[in-house]
């Protein structure tokens, strides 16, 4: 047996789209995929954030292109996929990382407005992105990586609708894997635990919540965004060529 391990994890000549990639987990994953050789498309709602991230990545020697898009809007999804595929005529890797959670509190106090926004961004957008990118993923052999949450496996207190949306994303990933496998498209889902990002700061900056959460963690620490790079790189690369429909926790042992 002769295996080039470096080549196994290389993303040279691959085009990777990462949504919600100007901060937090998405930015870390985009950086990691770029460092592994992929041409990375970074995207988020605000053009200034996209430009800042593009410039930062270019200084690191990463081949990067930026597209501002709100994935909660179908017209923006159209723009995102059309601009990506017209520029590169290829799309091999999609990381659906963009997420929304505009409310924190008991389920009985949730609003239909917040529910619709959460579902549009966390569930509908990944589906629409994959549907529009499907011909390119099918042509080149693709890897879909959906970023869910441990809340999608075990409901999180005060995050009811968000947890429901992330559970739906886990199920959606499995459907993608089952339906698209014969098209040489793999679909897997990452379920991070509590990662120290701006998105989750209401949790890890709250001393009472943070203390209670840490007591449940065998690794006794919250994750940094960069700690999500390894699992994403694995799933994006040929190293995971026989992995599809998988649910991968990166949670410090929280779900044990």
- The pair phi, psi for residue 181, each rounded to 5°, is -60, -40
Would you call 224 helix, strand, or coil by DSSP?
A: coil
Max CA-CA distance within the chain? 59
Scanning 69-153, the segments in alpha helix (DSSP H) are 74-88, 112-119, 125-140
| Residue 248 annotated as catalytic | no
Would you call 226 helix, strand, or coil by DSSP?
A: helix
Scanning the chain, the segments in alpha helix (DSSP H) are 5-8, 24-35, 47-59, 74-88, 112-119, 125-140, 160-180, 201-204, 207-215, 229-236
- The catalytic residue among 31, 162, 248, 254 is 162
Would you call 236 helix, strand, or coil by DSSP?
A: helix
Catalytic residues: 162
């Amino acid at each position: 047996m002769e295996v080039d391990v470096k080549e196994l994890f290389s993303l040279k000549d691959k085009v990777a789209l990462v949504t919600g990639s100007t901060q937090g987990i998405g930015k870390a994953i985009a950086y990691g995929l770029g460092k592994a050789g992929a041409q990375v498309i970074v995207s988020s709602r605000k053009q200034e954030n996209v430009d800042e991230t593009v410039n930062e990545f270019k200084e690191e020697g990463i081949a990067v292109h930026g597209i501002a898009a709100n994935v909660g809007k179908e017209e923006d999804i159209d723009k995102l996929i059309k601009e990506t595929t017209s520029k590169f005529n290829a799309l091999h890797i999609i990381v659906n990382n963009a997420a929304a959670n505009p409310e924190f509190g008991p389920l009985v106090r949730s609003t239909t407005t917040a529910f619709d926004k959460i579902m549009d961004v966390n569930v509908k957008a990944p589906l629409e992105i994959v549907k529009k990118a499907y011909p390119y993923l099918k042509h080149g052999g693709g890897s879909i990586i959906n970023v869910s949450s441990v809340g999608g496996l075990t409901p999180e207190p005060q995050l009811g609708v968000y947890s429901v949306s992330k559970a739906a994303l886990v199920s959606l990933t499995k459907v993608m894997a089952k339906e698209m496998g014969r098209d040489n498209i793999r679909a897997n889902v990452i379920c991070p635990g509590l990662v120290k990002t701006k998105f989750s700061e209401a949790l890890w900056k709250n001393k009472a919540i943070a203390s209670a959460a840490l007591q449940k963690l065998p690794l006794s620490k919250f994750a940094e965004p960069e700690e999500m790079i390894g699992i994403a790189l694995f799933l994006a690369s040929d190293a995971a060529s026989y992995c599809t429909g998988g649910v991968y926790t990166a949670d410090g042992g929280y779900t044990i």
